[in-house]
Amino acid sequence: MDMSQYLDMFLDESNEHLQALNEQILSLEQHPEDEQAIHEIFRVAHTLKGMAGTMGFKKMQNLTHTMENVFSNIREGNQKVSSDLVDALFNGLDILENMLQEISDSGKDEQPEYESTLKLFEGFLQKGGEGGKGGQEEAHEKKDEIRCKAGEITWEEDILTQIENEKKDGHAVYGLTVFLSARCVLKGARAFLVYKAANKIGKVLGSNPTMEQIENEEFELDFTWLFSTDQEKAEVKATLEKVLEVEQVVIEPFEVKKKEEPKPAAPAPTQTEKANPSPGKETKNLTRSIRVDIEKLDGLMNQVSELIIAKNSMTNLIQQVDNPKDPKQIMIRETVEYMDRITTGLHESVMGVRMVPIDQVFQRFPRMIRDLSKSLNKKIQLVMEGGDTELDRTVIDELNDPLMHLLRNSCDHGIEGAEDRVNKNKPEEGTILLNASQQGDNVVIQVSDDGKGLDVEKIAKKSIEKNLATEEQLKSLSDDEIVEFIFAPGFSTADKISEVSGRGVGLDVVKTKIESLGGSISATTQKDHGSTFTIQLPLTLAIIQTLMISLGEEKYAVSLNSIDIIEEIHTKDVKRLGQRKVIYLRDQVVPIVDLREIMGYEPVDRDVNLAVILHKGDRQRALIVDNLEGQLDAVIKPLDSRLLNTKLFSGATILGDGNVALILDINALF
């Protein structure tokens, strides 16, 4: 059988299983007696082994099987969870991750460290007493467990009523327990095949675990049903045991035992009602989600984008009609308004499909912080909040590297050693907070630490050395503005280069990547109290709400997310602060940016100027424009290659009249 068609699914699911193992082993290291974590680790490792074997990747299967035996020893109390063992397990996960990458690149599970890692685990097995076949294989060798369990389960009252009705109609009712083979891969799918076979000769009245739990593979290797049929017991047993990877079916007649105090009927449907569909509808409950290639979603989003452009064009035409009271034109206007609502709903639906929790990125970092704290010989705790905050998948995929750089910086530059922290009356263990939250149409991510903070004086001195600013210019800058120099290319205040940082490339890369995603990053610091890096990102990169502004005949778009308010500024109120023009607004000194001056237009003398007040983090700018042209749902189009070096624009959009408007990059204005 050609398994190559399942390769992408195998890689995706294997990476998810490895991430789950990373999380559970971290939990086990902190709580060695946590039986739930141990069982979950064993279950995931067993599934991963089976998947690798099915796909024909023998080395990956062997390594996972050996690790599974170690997990089995831990579960049975034959192996203690030591620091050395956890390090070895994490090393094994790294090898498996490298194997997956090699499989993706070349189709082979080759890894130079495979043999040595295998021997390392075999050494742990010898010390702890080898786990042999592993827990699930051993389960079926215990003869006292091979029995029908239907009589041991407390069934719902409505199921017992169904049984009585089935018997009155002349049907036989059996309790049966199905045991799957220990080599079974995709247990939920195999159980579904058993279910289909059963429904051809009868009807499942009750299930333990529920069908939903079976679908999600939340069971070991057996499940129990109450089954109504007109067939003989031997024939039912033979039919179900014909299904591949069904090891044994134990079946016996089921008699209802009367309860002394019957349960009152629940107002909501019971779990069994939800989990047991009628024979003709069994596939409905078993198809709740599907995997979709991101390129297909991109294609769908592109079609929605084109629909929005068409809607904007029709709206523009409607505004130009000569007789707005004409009944036909009124009908056209209403149709366009209806199309507007449908288009907006379709856009929101597509965005809902593309949105994923940021926790998918966050969960990669606890393991990294653990390894860094050991290599730096520091005690560091990572606290994560807001993992359920959602972002567009395309943004999520690009977030890993920027956040990794910020976290590594906090570990190396921010958090002090235990001795230094004690001398400063701080806890020995430093804390890094990784937090995400949604604010309007933006997601804000903060990386904070309670370390020594950034050295503002040292940053100022370095900025002079690198010709980024003069002493005179630095005098007019606040501490937070001076801190911004750390994002300059090649900037570093580290006294020596380490494996973690010091080469001056990390924060420059972070800023470049965040701004390429249409976001911004800023930093604040307080000596001996720590630093905070704040990232602000749009929810999506495809369609944004904008305010259209104009200079003369030219129109430009500004993201509404960056706008605080619109103000009229009197020329007499404009002041100078060093080289800058500023205005005093609501107890804030706001620098002025004249868009005419930036674009090379002829200056216009006015007593009153129209200003769009923009924000980036806690800072503001007053953008002087000629006119406001209203709001527009802007479909972002990439710039022509000849404009890629023009940092003032982040993209372009097509207007309703067919003309093109450039979208201003707010970061450049700051």
- Spatial separation of the C-alpha atoms in residues 422 and 527, rounded to whole Å: 16
The pLDDT of residue 633 = 78
Gap between the Cα atoms of 536 and 509, Å rounded: 16
Residue 407 pLDDT greater than 80, yes or no = yes
For the chain, percent of residues with pLDDT exceeding 70: 86
What are 13-40's pLDDT values in tens digits?
888 889 889 988 998 888 888 888 888 8
Q: 220, 181 in Cβ contact below 8 A?
A: no
* CA–CA separation, 42 and 124 (whole Å): 16
Between CA 486 and CA 463 the distance in angstroms is 9
Q: What pLDDT does residue 177 have? A: 92
C-alpha torsion angle, residues 36, 42, 46, 49 (rounded to 10)? 130
Give burial (CB, 10 Å; 0-12/13-18/19+) of 198.
Answer: buried
Q: Tokens standing for 216?
A: 């999600």
Torsion sign over Cα 224, 229, 232, 235: negative
Output the six-digit token pair for 533. Answer: 């890096």
Phi, psi of 644 (to 5 degrees): -65, -30
Buried b (16+ CB within 10 A) or exposed e, 102-116: bbeeeeebebeebee
Q: Cα(212)–Cα(232) distance, rounded to whole angstroms?
A: 28
Q: What is the mean pLDDT of residues 170-177?
A: 91
Report which DSSP code applies to 49: H
User: What is the tens place of the pLDDT at every residue in 454-463?
Assistant: 888 888 888 8
d(CA 51, CA 9): 10
Mean pLDDT of the chain: 80
More confident residue, 137 or 644: 644
Candidates 23, 29, 68, 390; catalytic one: 68
Question: Confidence class of residue 142 from pLDDT cuts 50, 70 and 90?
Answer: very low
Backbone angles phi, psi at 158, to 5 degrees: -70, -30
- Which whole-number Å values give the CA distances from 158 to 165, 273, 278, 514, 597, in the listed order? 11, 9, 15, 57, 78
Strand bridging mode 575-577 / 530-538: unpaired
Residue 500: predicted pLDDT: 53
Tokens (6 digits) for 227:
């089954």
Residue in the block written with tokens 């503001």: 620
Alpha helices in 109-185 (DSSP H): 114-128, 135-139, 157-168
Q: Does residue 60 contact residue 99 with C-beta atoms inside 8 Å? A: yes
Backbone angles phi, psi at 169, to 5 degrees: -80, 0
Whether 405 is catalytic is no
pLDDT for the residue 542: 67
Query: pLDDT category, 281, cuts 50, 70, 90?
Result: very low
Instruction: Convert the pLDDT of each residue in 219-271 to its tens digit.
Output: 878 899 999 999 988 899 989 988 877 888 999 998 876 544 444 444 444 44
Cβ atoms of residues 571 and 606 within 8 Å: yes
Give the closest residue to 368 by CA, choosing from 71, 94, 81: 94
Active-site residue flag, 15: no
Higher pLDDT, 561 or 443: 443
Structure confidence by residue, pLDDT tens digits, 373-390: 988 999 999 999 999 888
Supply the pLDDT for residue 214: 85
CA within 13 Å, CB half, 237: 14
Share of the chain above pLDDT 90, in %: 13
pLDDT attached to residue 225 = 92
Catalytic residue among 17, 29, 46, 73: 46
Task: Please calculate the CA angle 561-564-570 and round it to the nearest 5 degrees.
Answer: 140
Query: 208, 409, 442, 561: which is the annotated catalytic residue?
Result: 409
Give one DSSP letter per residue of 367-394, joined into a string: HHHHHHHHHTT--EEEEEE-TT-EEEHH
CA distances from 371 to 21, 359, 561 (A): 16, 20, 38
Name the range with the highest mean pLDDT among 74-78, 188-192, 325-329, 370-374: 370-374
Dist. CA 106–CA 122, nearest whole Å: 28
pTM: 0.62
Please give the pLDDT value at position 4: 67
pLDDT, average across residues 185-209: 86
Q: Would residue 73 show up in a list of annotated catalytic residues for this protein?
A: no
**Average pLDDT estimate for 509-536:** 87
Confidence grade of residue 476 (pLDDT, cut at 50, 70, 90) = confident
Sheet (strand 580-585) strand order = 563-570, 608-616, 619-625, 588-594, 580-585, 575-577
| Dihedral angle sign, alpha carbons of residues 316, 319, 323, 329 | positive
Short-list 53, 51, 44, CA closest to 22: 44
